[in-house]
Structure 1
């Protein structure tokens, strides 16, 4: 591999010997002081020493002119929630007038950053909004399918489950089993038969 040559390196992969290369960005030197390993996945690259470096001026011994080996990570931006898109989120907290959730997926794409969503009482369902009981709609740990309404306060997105196909898609019972939906408002534990209230997403 010559200077400027690039290829893919994976974490832990040996990139070379410290007698030949200098460990650069995205690499680390093994405890033995010899092997240089990649610390992340990315493009492996060899960088020649700068003109004013001691390495460059070692003309009397060309073997001392070591190249720097580095690994440059891929800068890929994950999916970002936008108004109108459907997201999958995990409920983290339920309060009297709202529930908060961590957004895990935007449509079918996983997010790379942390996004918080808030489902307000008025956005749980389309009818009888004043009768919505948040504690009978969601529980911490529930996986919900929701639509992004807008970017709310404190970097939290307002989410809605008001459509029939939106709501809880997966939930664990108190006994720890994955519950089965038996109506739009009830899920049942297959182990104990106990019924728990939820705002259930209609399976299309």
Structure 2
């Protein structure tokens, strides 16, 4: 289950090389750049969801596995207290951040659920020193735990545990940043670091 949560993909995210994978439902091959460049075409996700790799038939001439992205289910999941969710940060304010919940565990949500991460729920220590703008930025993908259903149908979320926090963030240059500590992420293109409440990667 943990692997399914981590493998959440969003539209435009690279799934692999077209020479090694076939694009199935929820995926596509971008061939527009291959006429002007020598780079091999890539397979991209066309929706938010979980990738699944289907092995080829033993009798098939093409032995590449097919990658599919399973998106919103008809029986969409609903957040519950203590649930682990994946959410995209939409707005960061002085004392809280709001986010759209995308997945509950490994299952995509069908309806729109809004979550709020309050200043006191960002981390477990030195709560009074937490700065929201140094913890999250709009567009960040966070892993959080549902505390309760708060006001105005917005769920109260927590990232206080070590394994909770930002799992994916984009730098100003448009690159996916790499965590270098529990408080910083680094752009692989420019080397510039940005503060975040980083989720500890489980090994």
Same fold (TM over 0.5): yes
Larger Rg: 1 or 2? 1
Q: What SS is found at the alignment partner of 1:175?
A: coil
**1:74-93 pair list within 5 angstroms:** 76-93=74-91
RMSD: 1.0
- 1:127 maps to 125
The Cα shift of 1:77 comes to 2.8
Q: After superposition, what is the alpha-carbon deviation per residue over 1:124-182, rounded to whole angstroms, capped at 9, x for unaligned?
A: 00000000000000000000000000000000000000000000000000111000000
Q: Which aligned pairs between 1:51-130 and structure 2 lie closer than 5 A?
A: 76-130=74-128
Aligned to 1:151: 149
Aligned-partner Cα distance in 2 for 1:166–1:177? 22
Q: How does 1:1-204 map to 2 (within 5 A)?
A: 76-204=74-202
Moved over 6 A (4+): none
Instruction: List gaps (5 residues or longer) in structure 2.
Output: 1-72
3-state SS of 1:154 partner = helix
Alignment size in residue pairs: 130
Q: Which runs of 5+ in 1 are unaligned?
A: 1-74
